Amino acid sequence: MKMTVAAAGILAVILAGQIADAKTLEDVLKEKGVITEEDYKEVTKTKPFNYQLGKGATFTTQDEKFQLTLGGRMQFRYTYNDFDTINGTKSNKSEWDAKRIRLIAQGYAYTKDLTYKLEFDPRVLANASPGNSKGLIESYMNYRLIDEAQIKVGQMKTPFARQELTSDGALQFVDRSIVVDAFKPSYDIGAMLNGKIADGLVYYYAGVFNGSGQTTLRGAGAANDNMFAARIAVNPLGDMAYSEADLDGSVKPLLSIGANYFMTTLNKTGAVLDNINSNYAASSGWLGKGLGGGKFATNDKIDIDSYGVDLAFKWMGLSLQGEYLLGEAESQRTATKNHLMARGFYAQAGYMIIPKTLEVAVRYSYFDPNDSVANDHITEQIGAISYYFNKHNLKIQGDVGNIHTQSSANPTKPTDDMQYRLQAQIIF
């Protein structure tokens, strides 16, 4: 572990001396006042080929009716888990991983109002086992009628949870909070109405999806039970992007307040839930944990409702963010009416010690998968340090956290698992 951290420190020093924010000649001339805004727009107008760091290589036809941008990102991670063995015989774990390898193609076709995106993970595709369809990440097209009314169809992130909607390449920790991972529906196939109002003062999203998760069609027993999801975000002080850390050192404060909701219905055939999204229903998800040993009866129908509110703030290198998430599941059977409620929240803060370069951050998360059961919650306390060579485009991050787990089966012996992570990322 010490050798790993030392090697990362040496790499950081070497790279820091060689990499700076890339600026074009036009940018420099504009900043120095050599050329006017009109001159800048003229020399930076659409080119047949252009490369922009962090966005990729862009190809545009001469008539400007078609455009394709090719790019991607890579994350390489080292994790050391120091498991608490009070409740079992867990072994500590040391692991290197190419966590996310993404190739992205996006652009517009026929008109600038018809945009598209294709994102996939070749690592997942290469190791896909039968039935594993997680290699295709996003595949959609979006048609803009006006800024306030746009239609998106295909596979996309469902509009739920601010941190989930923030790209994994734009986080100030190595990964998302355990709470968001437990509640997110994440990628699904469907259609969504979305819009941007008053230059980013308000964003809204409302869509209908399969409800069965990433690249997964609906089960035969749930043909009429689509998932509905909606979100609204208000930015009263000006448009605020879904990106963590105040890397730009915002001169004026920025604030975003959001709320989201989704609903779906699951059918239980024997011990199997049809049309189920594996994100929130997996063993680590709120529904999977809360269901326990078969809370709902065979051949039941279960109504799912999930709610969330969030807040994000940035100013002068300081960034604050938090979310509160709640999920409910209720049986439609008139005789039993079984009910499950799960809740959780996280709060995090970061500050740029060296503007645009070095940041420290802390986060606390709380997750209760079943509020009717005592002593079954999970908490996360984590601290992070990030070195940004070129914003999120090139960075090294490390975090250390404690995962505290209370078990109702053994309430007097909770576990405290320490986790150490180090990750390098490049976006190209």
Q: What is the pLDDT of residues 135-180, one digit of tens each?
A: 899 999 999 999 999 999 999 999 999 999 999 999 999 999 999 9
pLDDT over 70 at 294, yes or no: no
* Domains: count for the chain: 1
Q: Percent of the chain, pLDDT > 70?
A: 83
pTM of this prediction?
0.86
SS3 322: strand
Residue 126 near residue 134 (C-beta atoms within 8 A)? no
Q: What are phi and psi of 119, to 5 degrees?
A: -130, 130
Q: Which residue has the higher pLDDT, 167 or 268?
A: 167
Q: Judge whether 20 lies within some domain.
A: no
pLDDT at 20: 43
- pLDDT, tens digit (0-9, with 9 covering 90-100), for 94-132: 999 999 999 999 999 999 999 999 999 998 887 765 556
Q: Judge whether 23 lies within some domain.
A: no
Q: Judge whether 217 lies within some domain.
A: yes
pLDDT at 89: 63
Distance CA 418, CA 428 (A): 33
CA dihedral 207, 213, 217, 219 (to 10 degrees): -110
Distance CA 99, CA 325 (A): 26
pLDDT at 298: 63
List alpha helices for 17-96, DSSP H.
25-31, 37-43
pLDDT at 142: 98
CA dihedral 165, 170, 171, 177 (to 10 degrees): 20
Q: Judge whether 289 lies within some domain.
A: yes
Other CB atoms within 10 Å distance of the CB of residue 403: 19
- pLDDT, tens digit (0-9, with 9 covering 90-100), for 25-76: 677 777 777 778 777 766 666 679 999 888 899 999 999 999 999 999 999 9
Q: Which residue has the higher pLDDT, 154 or 279?
A: 154
Q: Judge whether 308 lies within some domain.
A: yes
Quick one: pLDDT band at residue 426, thresholds 50, 70, 90? very high
pLDDT at 15: 43
pLDDT over 60 at 428, yes or no: yes
CATH number of 297's domain: 2.40.160.10
Q: Which residue has the higher pLDDT, 7 or 79?
A: 79
Domain range for residue 149? Answer: 46-427
Under 8 Å CB-to-CB from 298, ≥6 apart: which residues? 268, 269, 270, 271
CA dihedral 73, 318, 382, 409 (to 10 degrees): -110
The rounded mean pLDDT for the chain is 87
pLDDT at 274: 63
- Report helix, strand and coil shares of the chain as percent, to nearest 5: 15, 50, 35
Radius of gyration of the chain (CA): 23
Under 8 Å CB-to-CB from 104, ≥6 apart: which residues? 56, 69, 70, 71, 72, 73, 117, 118, 119
Q: Judge whether 10 lies within some domain.
A: no
Q: Percent of the chain, pLDDT > 90?
A: 62
Q: Judge whether 41 lies within some domain.
A: no
pLDDT over 50 at 4, yes or no: no
Q: What are phi and psi of 28, to 5 degrees?
A: -65, -45
Q: Judge whether 24 lies within some domain.
A: no
- pLDDT, tens digit (0-9, with 9 covering 90-100), for 335-385: 666 888 999 999 999 999 999 999 999 999 999 999 888 888 999 999 999
Distance CA 254, CA 320 (A): 10
pLDDT at 202: 98
pLDDT over 60 at 215, yes or no: yes
